[in-house]
Every structure is written in C-alpha cells, then in structure tokens.
Amino acid sequence: MKIVCIGGGVAGLYFGLLMKQHNPSHDITVVERNRAYDTFGWGVVFSDATMENMRRWDIKTADEIQQAFNHWDDIELHIKGRTIRSGGHGFVGIGRKKLLNIMQARCEEVGVKLVFEQEVDSDADFPDADLIIASDGLNSKVRTKYQDTFKPDIALRPNRYIWLGTNKVYDAFNFLFEKTEHGWFQAHVYKFDEQTSTFIVECPEHVWLAHGLDKADQQQSIEFCEKLFASNLKGEKLMTNARHLRGSAWLNFQRVTCEQWSLHNGKSHVVLMGDAVHTAHFAIGSGTKLALEDAIELTAQFKTLGDTPEHIPEVLARYQAARSVDVLRLQNAAWNAMEWFEVCGERYCDQLAPEQFMYSMLTRSQRISHENLRMRDKVWLEGYERWFAQQAGVAANDSAPPPPMFTPLTVRDVTLKNRVMVSPMAQYSCDNGLVDDYHLVHLGSRAMGGAGMVMVEMTCVSPTGRITPGCPGLWDETQRDAWKRIVNFVHQRSDAKIAVQIGHAGAKGSTRLGWEGIDKPLVEGNWPLISASPLQYLPGVSDTARAMTRADMDEVRDQFVRSTKWAAEAGFDWLELHCAHGYLLSSFISPLTNQRTDEYGGSLANRLRYPLEVFAAVREVWPQNLPMSVRISAHDWVEGGITPLDAVEIARAFKAAGADLVDCSSGQVSKAEKPVYGRMFQTPFADRVRNEAGVQTIAVGAISEADHVNSIIAAGRADLCAVARPHLANPAWTLTEAAKIGYTNVTWPPQYRSGKSQMETLFQRERAQAAAAVPGGKG
C-alpha cells in the first residue's frame, strides 16, 4: 500500500514506523512542515502502562525512549506554605523534541520516507495514496475541509495557560499553587531531561484579565510567572521556545471530539489520528498516550484483517469502533481533571485543608479511587485516613485508622456512626398512607445492615399529596403511631438513626403504583392536583394540575407543619424536606414548571419564596437539636431549567434558612430531560454545592461500592452518601462492603455475629487470590 502521513508528530511517525515494520513492502511517507529534526514544545509525559504497551509493539524504539526518559513515581503539592508528597504514581517524562527525534531516526532506519519543510494544504495533494493519515494536529486542515463528514465538536475551555520551561530540575511531578490579590494560579511542573523541566502555568480567565496578562507580551508574561513562583524557582529563570508565536503565548485548551473518523475522498481513504481527531487535557498528560495508542490500534487492525487496499474500509471501521471507547473513557477522565483545575481556585484552594486538597487533586479524574491510592502509596493514604478520622472526632491511637466511609458525622445533637445513608426509595406498599409490617421488615433489616442512617421514602403530608395510593403519609395520628413502631424498632434493635422525608407530589400525584405504569394516571379514583402553575407532567397523558392560590399555599404549608410535629412525636432523628424531582415544592423552584407572574414566579429568588416559607415553618416546629436537610434537583437536564450554578444559589438560600445539609439529586422535573448517567454521576453537584455554597451535602446516584463512598467523603465532595438500589439487593450492604475492603472494626447485630468472621475470611481469601493473579496494580 501507498500510505501518506500528513504531520510528523507522534501519531504520524509512530504509525508509519509500526506499519513499515509490519510489512516492509508498504510505501510510507511522513510529510512535516517543519525542518528536519526541528520541533517545538517542552516535555511530554505518559504513564508506565503506556510505555509497556509500546514495548509490546516495538521494543527497540521503546528501549531508546527508556534510555532517554526520566521516570518518577512521586507527586508533590505546594500550597499555603505546605509541601505534601505521595508516591507510586509511575510517570515517564521525555522532551518532545527528543521523543520525535528518536521516532524520526527509527523511521529512517526501517525505510519510512520523511519529507520536511512541506506545507500540506489538502489531502488532494496525494491522489495516488491508498491511505492518508491526517495527523495534522489540533488545527487540522483535513478535518476542517471535511467537517460536514467528520462532524467535529470543539469546546474552547475558559482557563488560560502558558507552556514554559526551566533549568531547575524537579524529582517529582510538582503542582504549585499561588494566590494573588485577584485569585489563584497553578503550575504543572515535571522534569523531562537532565537539565530541563516543563513549567505550565494556568489560571482562570478572569484572573488572567485582572492581572492585565491579555496585554502582556511573552517576555512580560515570563517575568510575571517568575515573580509569582519565585519562592519555588529559587532564582532559576523560565524560558519559552514559542518565540515564533506573535503576541501573547497564553492559550485556551480546545477539547476535540469527532463523530466520524474516516472517509473516502474519491481517490484515497483518509483517517484522522492524534490531536486531529481527539484531544485530552494536559492535566492528566494523555495527549501523547492517545496518539501512540491510535497508531498501535490502527496497525493492529491491519495486522488482524489484512493490509491491502481492499481491507482498508473494514480496518478503518473497526479502528474507530475499537478506539472510540477507550478514547472516550480517557477523554472523560481528562475532562474531569481539567474541570477540577478550572474551578479549584473558586472551590477548593481556600476551602480545603492542604491534606484534603492533596487527596482531591490526586483523585480529580475519578480514575484513581481510594483503594487504588492504597495500592500506589499505602503509607501516605493511611496517614491521610488518620488525619481525616481525627477531623471527624476519632481519637488518635496506634490501631489502623477507619476508612473515611466509617468515620462518624455529627450534625446538631445527632451523631451518625458512619457516612452511609439508605436512600429514600418508594415502595408503594401502604394502604391509605399507613405503614405496616412490610415497612417494619424493609426498614428494620436495612437499619440492622450497618448503615449510619435509614431515610424512609417520601412521606406525604395529605391524601391528595401522595404520588400513588401506595405511598405513606403523616396526616393523622394513626399513621404517626405506625411510624413510631418502626422508629422504636430501629432504635432498640440497631445503632442506626432513622430519618423521615416529607413531601407533596404536586402535579406528579394520583398515579399508578411503580410496577403498574410509573407516572401514568390512575384508571379510577383520581384526586385533584395542584402545582406552582397549570401543568401536565406527561404531556397529553397526565391529569392537569391547577395553579395554587394563596389559600392553597397556606393550607399546604400547615399540612407540612402538622406532619413535622407528628414526625417528632414518632421519634424520628432527622427530617428532610423534599424540594426535588418535580414534586410540589420543586415545581416552584424550576422555571420549567413555574410560569407564575406574581411574587412566586420569575426570578430564582421569587421562585424560592414559597419553598423557603414552608421550610421556615417546618424548621420552627422541628426540634432545634435535630438536623434538617433538604433534597433538591441540582440539574433539570433540560435547556432553560435549573443548572448546577442555580443549585449553588438554591443551597445558599436553604442554608440561610437553617438547613444543615443539602441532598443533591437531579432531574425528574421534565420528561424532556437528557441526563448523562454514569457511576457517581450526581456527585459533582454535591461537590459544587458543598464547596461553593459552604453547606454540608449528601451525594446520591450510582454510588455502589465502598470505594465510591470512601473517595467521595475523603475528597470533601460530600459529607454523606445516599445508597439506594444496592440496598434493595442487599440490606446488609454496608457490612458487606466493610468486609470486602478488609475493615473489620464494625459492629454487627449480636444475632448475626457468627456470620461476620466467615464473610470477612471469604473476602480476605478473594483479595489474596486477586493480588496473586495481578502482580501490577497502578494501571
């Protein structure tokens, strides 16, 4: 085959090299616009795992790179006058110029033709090529030419960064944070040869503008950064090798994704590779990794399917199918890391202690979890766990510290033994709002299963406030007494606390039981519905709710107060006000459901007016020594609806009204929603609300293992984790997860203790077998 690689970066060179090695008969040319052995940029970084992948495909090139690279395991944080160091992370640093020079020499050695100082304007310049690799970088001309086919999505990110170098040599990957009168700057620093380190300085746009860096030339920017990081540089200078760029050298990162990766231009097959098809933020150093693995995968597909022109269409289809999954996974991790650095100045630098800031930074991509950190640096993590436990009030001693999941949380006069809450889950099993033996068994078994607190399903304040005829209520004394029986059981038979969540269904009421057609109206026996505005939850299907009058508001507020009083008499430890998911109070908050033109509609402050009125009335009669939380929908997932930024303001308002925690859920306000699901997918809302609004939060949504809980709590992303469906499958989920991670200092009900050691032994055996089967572990 005749193959032309447009662009002599990592992707084009490495693919040319691998394909020529696979089949020397291929005619392969790499065309580069710069001069021979001339390149720009400082150092690049990738992981040990990427290096091993290269070794499997081309050991000679890998060996040459290994001889030239700098390897380190440690990450070092500098913030607020503190230095914290953690090891076991496994990175490789090498000068970009050195890396490309090695690949250029290897290409020449195996017979790949290298053409320098040739600007390529179009793939049409090579009409006789069977395959054209468009590895022409971030600003790919080929991608732009065929943008209607490739369908690129290019997101320009808000932070500004400048890529510099220094002759100061660092022995770890350093993250430096400095605060100015206008905000925070951070530097990403790593050694890439014996004399030089990469030094990337980054800050938010508004901080950059406030310092006048938009008007600074390159030399002025360098001098600014030297002064800013003078205490770390200790007299060393910063350097640029981008003098060829006009004006400011500060850039915005561009995240690139493409819907289609290849096409036929009428004469040749064309495929995008490297930064032309996808980019990953330098926060996790994966751009080089992506380019290398693109080259490896495309070569692998040719090797498997055949490397003749007839095989190209199938190869390119398989290549995109195989790579797109891995690329998306890595881009998502890079996106998480990038966003962390974009908001850390507003959200973490001032709010978190250096110890917790370090943990949050290490786990920013969500690819590194609590137990993965233990594999990387057990000593550092146990030290952090000890520090965290002390902050939670656990006395220091010589024994191993508890994982963050198993530290206590005290709110007002209530202390939860751990950070796990059984999330409220509708059971649709009441008769006229009355809980019975089913609920005693359901809630009692989960209270005995190790969770710090069990929160009962939304309990309705009136018969017409129910979602379904099977929902529980607290509108009469009989219901109060039925709840008291369950509360007493939980208190007598477990050390868990029990919370009640009270709410009113609003426009989402008068529907069938969940397994009979969720959200669909009752066939008969419907009751009238009320909401902030006239509303059909399911357009054309649901009954229409009428807009509440002021008299309605007074009546419903008083119903919430009555239910609260009875909840206190029933002995509940904690009360949550349901202001989420499109139910009555939520319908006032979201602009999707509130179309009022009076003082309860319009601005967010107006839309919050009635929910805050209800909250205040409830807080007044709920015992002052007991906690009260509020559940909100932190994101409507619909354009024009509530956003996470709104959620911060909502949380601030409820905090000012006396809320102790904000339970951060999302969605279920409109059927037009388009949520983005994934593990812990709502945790970022809890994180943002906690650290920007300054209120404790509850994370909920796809939290399914101890590693999730530990990572969330340890990083300060939330203070409690509400775990739902795993508790449906296993009432003793918390005790099971403790045994899985080898934490044995948990109390089991005395009746079940004979099963404790057996479970712990079985999981210990599984861990030992897994460790024996996988000698590595850092990934």
Q: Known catalytic residues?
A: 583
- Please name every residue paired with 81 in a beta bridge, in sequence order, or none if there are none: none
Residue 189, CA distances (Å) to 8, 169, 254, 303 in order: 26, 10, 21, 39
Using DSSP's 3-state secondary structure scheme, residue 71 falls into strand
Residue 343 burial (CB count, 10 A): 19
**Strands, E assignment, 298-435:** 409-411, 414-416, 420-422
Cβ-based neighbours of 122, under 8 Å, separated by 6 or more: 141, 142, 145
Place of tokens 């989420």: 580
CA–CA dist 531, 581 (Å, integer): 13
Report the alpha-carbon distance of residue 734 to residue 752 in Å, rounded: 14
Instruction: Answer for the pair 635, 583: CB distance below 8 angstroms, yes or no.
Output: no
Give me the helix-helix angle, 609-621 and 644-657, nearest 10°: 40
Helices and strands in the chain: count of H runs, count of E runs: 27, 30
Through-space distance between the first and last CA atoms of the chain, rounded to whole angstroms? 36
Write the CA distances from 633 to 45, 49, 616, 668, integer angstroms.
40, 40, 19, 8
CA distance 154 to 146: 14
DSSP state of 116: -
Torsion of Cα atoms, 299 then 305 then 306 then 309, to 10°: -90
409/417 Cα distance (integer angstroms): 7
Q: Do the Cβ atoms of 467 and 505 come closer than 8 Å? A: yes
